[in-house]
Amino acid sequence: MRLSRRVAVKRTRRAPFLARGKSCCVDSDKITKYLLNLNHPDGGPKAKFFLAGGFSLARPYQFATALIRHYEDNEPTKLSAHRLGGSKLVIEAPLPVPDGRQPRVRSVWRVPEGGRIAHFVTAYPLD
């Protein structure tokens, strides 16, 4: 796995943090208000897992970068139509976490109709 991949950060009005790789992007709200938010009704159990692995609200860029690498370094295990249109891609592969482990994680991405950039939807542990 390449650890030197460059990721651009773009500040937008809607979300103050957006990480973007060559072919995908991660909205900051998905990280800070969902996947690392222990109080989120759906994200809480996921937050417990990812926080235990060493990801932190203080460093959302680190988690976004790991998710981008997860997408760009692995082949999709599933490809289907997304309920909102476009395509849904599922990646099931190890995700290196800051504490050194590499748990298997499923990440879900959506490519809008006619689009080329995959937008991060969610992630959760498989193990």
Residue 13: pLDDT over 60: no
Per the structure, the count of domains in the chain is 1
Q: What percent of the chain clears pLDDT 90, i.e. is strictly above it?
A: 63
In a domain, 46, yes or no: yes
In a domain, 1, yes or no: no
In a domain, 98, yes or no: yes
Structural domain boundaries enclosing 41: 8-125
In a domain, 3, yes or no: no
In a domain, 92, yes or no: yes
pLDDT tens column, 83-117: 777 899 999 999 999 999 999 999 999 998 888 88
Residue 22: pLDDT over 80: no
In a domain, 69, yes or no: yes
- Mean pLDDT of the region 26-33: 92
Which DSSP string corresponds to 31-43?
A: IIIIIT-TT-TTT
pLDDT of residue 21: 67
| CA distances, 81 to each of 74, 89, 93, 112, 119 (Å) | 20, 9, 21, 10, 14
pLDDT of residue 116: 86
Cα three-residue angle 120-126-127, rounded to 5 degrees? 145
Give the global pTM: 0.82
Strand-pairing partners, residue 96, are none
Sheet holding 8-10, edge to edge: 8-10, 18-20, 24-27, 118-125, 104-111, 87-94, 78-81
Give the separation between CA 98 and CA 51, rounded to whole angstroms.
10
